[in-house]
Structure 1
Amino acid sequence: MAGQSYEQRKTGTESAPEASKELKRKKRMKLVVYAAAFAIFQTIVILVFSLTVMRIKNPKFWLTSVTVEDLTAAPTPVSFNMKLSAQVAVKNTNFGHFKFDNTTIWFDYGGVGVGEAFVARGRSKARSTKKMNVTVELNSNNIPNNSSLENDIKAGFVALTCHSKLSGKVQLMKLIKKKKSAEMSCAMLLNMETRVVQDINCQ
């Protein structure tokens, strides 16, 4: 009986370190699993951050509306003079603000320049659209006599186009600055009878 009791005590004494080792091994495995899960989570966060916040795109720049303030036109001799009030928009989809420089919007008829509008430098906030009003005076002084302007005025519709480029920098977290630009290319139709600019189409 004494021998059996001794063997039981010996077995219990030997199994205690084994149980302790097994417990430590399980703890180490848990730590490894937690560390791997945390590393994967960090990788996903960095990837999402890189694809969204850190991905800097070109802003968008377009003409939203045009109102005729004054208009005089004559088919013979062919000519026109007009004053327009236009609203332009700068859409910044980035997570940092877009600071842009002065620029000019050029208006054309049949590829010939007929006027220009000045856009003052400014800033479009992060993920927002900045709208600005500009004034432009157009005239037909540079249009050659052999153009189709006379027929257009008689028909009551004059097609105009405008184009511009807005250059600046997108700034993220006051640390990253990247040069970006936005180009405007719009077409519109001026109704001479109603004095309304219609069918504005920008790309």
Structure 2
Amino acid sequence: MSKGEGKRSSKKCLAYVAAFVVFQTAIILVFALTVMKVKSPKVRFNAMAVESFSSNNNNSTSINMRLLAQVTIKNTNFGHFKYQNSTLSILYNGVPVGEVIVPRGRASARKTKKFNISVDVSSEGLSGNDMNSGVLRLSSRGKVSGKVHLMKVIKRNKSGEMKCDWSINLATRQVEDLKCN
């Protein structure tokens, strides 16, 4: 073996090592930009129904009802989302008429956690126009906060906000036009 062959093989080995390092750097960069990007979960009402309803139409109109709803927390991350107790509010014309506590829990990686809740809604002094129109417009607002855990090492604080609007047909006692953003 001559000196020229030894230099050539060491240069060849060095080129292979450099190519391997560049390849590994590219893989890590792609992994960091796609998998490690943490997104906020999506919180929504998936389905709603009126369980009970009563109204008093004297001088001031009041309602009492119980709503059953399915809440979904969609986690699109590659790590699980652990969230704390949160409050979702039911609003009529921006005024809270009901609240429900979302118990702390965990949404698995790339899964949607579904659970059912019931909320009591009661209000005094509703507009007679709304009651006479036969449609009661309600909305919900809330925020679910927690941490996304990636590979049991990386933890990022994230929160999902809920904003849903719907109507209740007073004649049929059905929830209509449920839209969540």
Is the TM value for this pair above 0.5?
yes
**Number of equivalences:** 180
Match of 2:68 in 1: 85
**Where has structure 1 moved over 6 Å in runs of 4 or more?**
none
Q: Does 1:182 align with 2:160?
A: yes
Match of 1:136 in 2: 119
Q: Does 1:151 align with 2:129?
A: yes
| Higher alpha-carbon deviation: 94-103 or 34-43 | 34-43
Alpha-carbon distance, 1:170 to partner: 1.2
Choose from 28, 43, 49 the match for 1:67. Answer: 49
Alpha-carbon distance, 1:36 to partner: 2.5
Match of 2:110 in 1: 127
Alpha-carbon distance, 1:110 to partner: 0.7
Query: 3-state SS of the aligned residue for 1:127?
Result: coil
- Which of the two has greater helix per residue? 1
Q: Let me know the Cα RMSD of the aligned residues.
A: 1.6
Q: Does 1:173 align with 2:176?
A: no
Unaligned segments of structure 1, at least 5 residues: 1-16
The one-letter amino acid paired with 1:124 is A
Match of 2:142 in 1: 164
Counterpart CA distance in 1 for 2:63 and 2:169 is 13
Query: 3-state SS of the aligned residue for 2:31?
Result: helix
Q: Is the 8 A contact 1:170 1:180 kept in 2?
A: yes
Counterpart CA distance in 1 for 2:118 and 2:173 is 16
Q: Is the 8 A contact 1:73 1:153 kept in 2?
A: no
Query: Which structure is larger by alpha-carbon Rg, 1 or 2?
Result: 1
Q: Is the 8 A contact 1:88 1:134 kept in 2?
A: yes
Query: 3-state SS of the aligned residue for 1:169?
Result: strand
Query: 3-state SS of the aligned residue for 1:140?
Result: strand
Q: What percent identity do the matched residue pairs reach?
A: 47
Choose from 4, 23, 34 the match for 1:52. Answer: 34
Q: Does 1:28 align with 2:10?
A: yes
The one-letter amino acid paired with 1:59 is P
Q: Is the 8 A contact 1:76 1:150 kept in 2?
A: no
- Which of the two has greater strand per residue? 2
TM-score (norm 1): 0.82
Query: 3-state SS of the aligned residue for 2:129?
Result: helix
Alpha-carbon distance, 1:197 to partner: 0.8
Alpha-carbon distance, 1:101 to partner: 0.7
Counterpart CA distance in 2 for 1:40 and 1:175 is 25
Unaligned segments of structure 2, at least 5 residues: none
Match of 1:107 in 2: 90
TM-score (norm 2): 0.91
Alpha-carbon distance, 1:76 to partner: 3.7
Counterpart CA distance in 2 for 1:38 and 1:84 is 60
Choose from 26, 42, 45 the match for 2:24. Answer: 42
